[in-house]
Amino acid sequence: MVRMTESTAAPGTPSTGATTPAPQTAPETSPRDQALADRGSNRSQRPSSPAFRRFIAERWADRPAGTPAPLPSAPYAAARRARISELFPGERLVLPAGPLKTRSNDTDYRFRPHSAFAHLTGLGTDQEPDAVLVLHPTDDGGHEAVLYFRPLAGRDTEEFFADARYGEFWVGARPTLEDLAALTGVTTAALSELADALAKDVGEGGVRVRVVPGADDAVAAQVDEARSGTASAEESAAADAELAEALSELRLVKDEHEVEQMRAAVAATVAGFARIVRHLPRAVEHRRGERVIESSFDGHAREEGNAVGYETIAASGDHATTLHWTRNDGEVRTGDLVLVDAGVEVDSLYTADITRTLPVDGTFTDVQRRIYEAVLDAADAAFAVAVPGSRFRDVHAAAMEVIAARLAEWGLLPGTVEESLAPEGQFHRRWMVHGTSHHLGIDVHDCAQARRETYLDAVLEPGMVFTIEPGLYFKADDLAVPEEYRGIGVRIEDDVLVTADGNENLSAALPRRPDEIESWMAGLLGR
């Protein structure tokens, strides 16, 4: 981590300025009088003399001329804004990108904009902290979109060299107002204008304002101040929740650009799984073999996309029976299965979500194959009903019928298949407590604020993208199963696009049948 230090010349070095800066003197206060917020300066030792300020602002080359080409996502984002506009005529809609979040003291996590903001602006990667998209109502019943953000600061400002969070010397140059307008096709304005813009025409009988809840507390506070006295806190919260709901449901059916981005994310993820297999021998040799797998995939995701779409699960042996095992600090042993649940998030922020359960040494044992094939049969049954006209809940129900039947065949259920499938039974769920599917897109669990009737009870239609991911998990201390099953966890997860005449397995390029997996692994390992 770079640390700013006060510039001093070595003895005998000629001065580069017209005058020599006066030495910095300590403030005439007790150390206890220094405010906590100011104590970061104890390490930064920021130069502040007038001579330095003049010198650092001089002799910089002109910035490149011209404006960037529009983002490929720009026309699709405009269409999404239009659909939201139709739902809230005459209202002001506020969608923050979100602030930077502190990781440790004065260092931040890598920024990722709020998904609703990204969806309606087309911006991805780390664009643009603190920005706010506002849809202002117009007289014709529509909206004018304005993107408020912190534009590029001049080289004659203190921010340029001294602001470790936003300064160009520290984090690179931000876009100008003109740059972001050209990229997005949205009118832009400085963030300093936001407060007045939010409050315009708000009051008794005036414009109603809604803000995406949980996206940016500081912006939410500005909105609350603007609409103070116009509605109760409960009414405002309900209005904001309706906006979040609508923005979430907007993503239930993907447009052409979104499907293209999903394909790119899946392709990158498939390549990442191949990289994992090549690294398995090293994982076996390492005391933290699971982290060898994790780092192999995560490095690939960073190289080929924006990052991973969620924390990678690299679970070997009994760890595979912990559904969200992300500690990834265990050994990877020959003879075990390793469950890897991972997805590359591409620069547009769309992510894949794929799971494969692989034999560490490249070959399934008879027991491992038996369990694996039961899960595969459940997945195939789910695929068969993941077609237009079915309901989303039918996908899970089809998988559960197979899971219950296999467990009954193995003598593990305390009753019949029918008794287990009944709502008052559900004995088979001991070994698969999660659902079979979830919507997928710009969030790994996309559309999460959608209503039950538009999600779980919805009729499937072309353009929907979701996972199919049944599993069986037999914990090492589970005395309800034969000893040979204990410590085995299997999940198979694919990403599915509903089409006009059925569905497409977007992740079909990654082998999923036992013989295919063994052959694929042998080829990658040179056997």
Q: Under a CB-based contact definition with an 8 Å cutoff, are residues 275 and 297 in contact?
A: yes
Q: What is the DSSP string of 178-208?
A: HHHHHHHSSEEEEGGGHHHHHHTT-STTS-E
Q: Please indicate whether residue 143 is annotated as part of the active site.
A: no
Catalytically annotated residue among 445, 451, 461, 516:
445
What six digits make up the tokens of 373?
């094939």
Catalytically annotated residue among 39, 54, 282, 324:
324
Catalytically annotated residue among 106, 461, 483, 516:
106
Q: Please indicate whether residue 150 is annotated as part of the active site.
A: no
Gap between the terminal Cα atoms of the chain: 44
Q: Please indicate whether residue 438 is annotated as part of the active site.
A: yes
Q: Please indicate whether residue 445 is annotated as part of the active site.
A: yes
Catalytically annotated residue among 114, 438, 439, 512:
438
Catalytically annotated residue among 434, 478, 486, 504:
434
Pairing relation of β-strands 337-342 and 354-359?
antiparallel
Beta bridge partners of 137: 143
Catalytically annotated residue among 128, 491, 494, 495:
491
Catalytically annotated residue among 341, 345, 446, 494:
341
Catalytically annotated residue among 298, 473, 485, 494:
473
Catalytically annotated residue among 128, 298, 443, 469:
469
| Burial (CB count within 10 angstroms: exposed 0-12, middle 13-18, buried 19+), residue 407 | buried
Catalytically annotated residue among 493, 494, 495, 518:
493
SS3 content of the chain, % helix, strand, coil (to 5): 40, 15, 45
Query: Residue 63: which of 4, 141, 151, 134 has the closest Cα?
Result: 151
Q: Give the 3-state secondary structure of 90-131.
A: CEEEEEECCCCCEEECCEECCCCCCHHHHHHHCCCCCCCCCC
Q: Please indicate whether residue 485 is annotated as part of the active site.
A: no
Query: Residue 435: which of 384, 396, 377, 474 has the closest Cα?
Result: 396
Catalytically annotated residue among 130, 353, 443, 495:
353
Sequence-ordered alpha helix ranges (H) in 392-444: 392-409, 417-421
Residues classed as catalytic = 106, 324, 341, 353, 434, 438, 445, 469, 473, 491, 493
